[in-house]
Each structure stands twice: as structure tokens, then as C-alpha cells.
Structure 1
Amino acid sequence: IEGFEYEYFDPTTVPDYVELEYNGHILPFTTYMFTGDGRVDIYWNEIVDLSIPGNGMIEGSTRVDAYSIPNNELKDYIEKREYDYRCVKQYLESKGYEVERAYFGSEDGEAILYRNTDEWHFLTHMDPEFVESEDIIKDLDI
């Protein structure tokens, strides 16, 4: 009788965005594709045959919070999302607010909270609409 082999990894070791390249294929990974605390269990499903030479980014999408982002847009999406967060955080802190990211792993994904007293206020989810904004400070009307 053969036993089960459990495979897992610690998601805190994954950077904001990284591309794993093998035999001409590019497989995107981001820390934001994992929810919850603790280890990530690996359940293997058939994907692109990486032993056959590829020609770039693999087809499909990657989960970021509660949203599926096409792999060919993922790097730009992550970079813009984090840039917009830093802009909002810097702006609010310059106005005397404390800023926090919250709701990681929730149904609607991560959000930005702020406070200047004892009460936290919800500002916005860091969803695709947040990322698509041309001027995030203006669009949030803060």
C-alpha cells in the first residue's frame, strides 16, 4: 500500500510578482494569488506541457485576491495595483491619516482602510476598477 505524499509551501516566501521560466514558457506567480494564513497545499492538475518548447507567457489567468487576471496582463496589473496603493497611502498619510491594508482573503479582496481618530473607515477595495483608474486620488474623491 502506497501512502499519500503531501506537498505544500509557505506563501509568505512568494514575492509580489515573479515569472518562472522553463523551456520557453513563462508561468506568473504572485503572493496575492493565495488567501488565508498558513501553508498552501498543492493539488496537481494537468496544465501546459512545459516539456514542449513554448514561446512566452502561458495561456490562462491567475487569481489575485478575488479576481482572475489574464496571465499576459498580470505583471502590469500587480505593478499598477501596488503603485496605486502607495500613492493613496502617501496621500492619506500626508493628510495625517493612518493607513492599513485589510480583508486579505475576503470575498471582495484586499481593501484600504484609514483613520485619524480611534475609528477605522473603509476607503476602497483594491480590485480591477481600482487598478484601472487613471488618477486614483481624484477617482476616490478623498
Structure 2
Amino acid sequence: MLLLQFLQSELIVDVGLFENEEQIKNWLKSLPVTVEDDTYYLEGEQLSGYTEVNFESSRYPLTRYSFDSTESILINWFEVPIIPQINGMVEGATKVDAYMVENSEVKSYIETRDEAAAAITDYYTKQGKQVVRAGLNSEDGEYLLVDGAILTHLDSMFIDDWANSESVEAFIKQIEE
């Protein structure tokens, strides 16, 4: 199934589910859609006060009052898994802090991230330094502060570097450089 959405700034409007892309394109034919390089969008000022999009036996209400008329409305659709039909890990990605991680890698990503943060915290705490994890869900993501200064972000490069390091000391030396 494909989920059709209208996106504008922080606004996400889930329109509905369609069986295939052809159905979505047919549904969109009754709207003033612009297509550029496979990107579909509506201009906010082209929407009327109230419109019903009729498709097969359904009616969908659409109004310019739902959107900022000065901005374009991106039209997006993507595959949505039907959970009971999935055998194994659901495909896709999961937001971990400020980063997207493939679902098949989320568990090891989080375990490695937490292991590395704990090892670094232990290393600096033994030296009498204060270590704080901060910035969770911020724009740049979580990071480690050592005595009030940012040491490193807990991003995918951090995870990869940790996984490839020979020791805590070697890793610390690498991130301090």
C-alpha cells in the first residue's frame, strides 16, 4: 500500500492509502498539480476555499484553509508495510535521536552507541572529569560534554569509529585530535 501525503513546512497531512501509484496519479488529476522532475506539488494560492476530490466511491475534502497559501505544498507518497504480512524485520528506517538508521541496524546501532558513551564516560570520570550526555533530539543530535566542552556527537561516524577502534584509549586519542 502507498500512503499519500501533503507536506508543507512542519505540516504533514496524511491523505490516505492507495493500492498503487497509478491510483494516486489518477486521484491527483482533479487538482492543479505541478510536476517537475518527478516532484509533485500544489501551489497554496491555487486551492479553493473548499473542494471535494471524488475518486471511485470516495470523497476527500480539501481546503486552502489547511495550508499557508504563500508556500508550495509537496505531494509525497511512499510504501507502507502491512505489518501482519511481514515476515521478519519491517523494511525502512527508524529515527534514533537526530539520525535515521535502517531498521535492520537499529538494535546494534543503539547498543554500540550506548557502549561507546559508557566507556568514554568511565574513562574521563576516572580522571576526575565531569561527563554529561546532552542534546538528545536536538537538531545536531546527542553529544558528550567533558568538563562543559563538547567532545563528540553520538552520530553514525562516531559509531563507526568506535567499532573500528582497537581500544578506548585509541578511540579517545582519535576524537581528541
TM-score bracket, shorter-length normalisation: 0.5 to 0.7
| C-alpha separation in 1, matches of 2:137 and 2:106 | 18
Mapping of 1:53-72 within 5 angstroms?
54-72=86-104
Distance 2:151 2:87 in 1: 41
Give secondary structure in 2 for the equivalent of 1:101: strand
Cα drift, residue 101 of structure 1? 0.7
3-state SS of 1:57 partner: coil
The Cα of 1:60 is off from its aligned counterpart by 0.3
Q: How many residues align?
A: 93
Structure 2: any 5+ residue segments left out of the alignment? 1-77, 166-170
TM-score, normalised by the number of residues in structure 1: 0.60
Q: Do residues 105 (structure 1) and 105 (structure 2) align?
A: no
Q: Which residue is equivalent to 2:47?
A: none
* Residue-by-residue CA offset, 1:90-139 (whole Å, 9 max, x unaligned): 00001110110111121110000011xxxx11111100011111223232
Matched, 1:47 2:80: yes
CA RMSD of aligned residues (A): 1.9
| Partner residue, 2:115 | 83
The 4+ residue runs of structure 1 with deviation greater than 4 A are none
Q: When you count strand as a share of all residues, which structure comes out higher?
A: 2
More helix as a share of residues: 2
Q: Could you tell me how far apart the structure 1 residues matched to 2:98 and 2:126 are?
A: 30
TM-score (structure 2 length as normaliser): 0.49
Q: Which has the higher contact order (CA 8 A, sep 6+)?
A: 1
Summarize deviations over 1:6-41 as a string: whole Å, max 9, x none.
xxxxxxxxxxxxxxxxxxxxxxxxxxxxxxxxxxxx
Distance in 2 between residues matched to 1:130 and 1:85, nearest whole Å: 10
Residue 121 (structure 2) pairs with residue 121 (structure 1):
no
CA distance in 1, matches of 2:92, 2:112: 20
Aligned to 2:176: 141
Determine the C-alpha separation between the residues in 1 that align with 2:172 and 2:87. Answer: 39
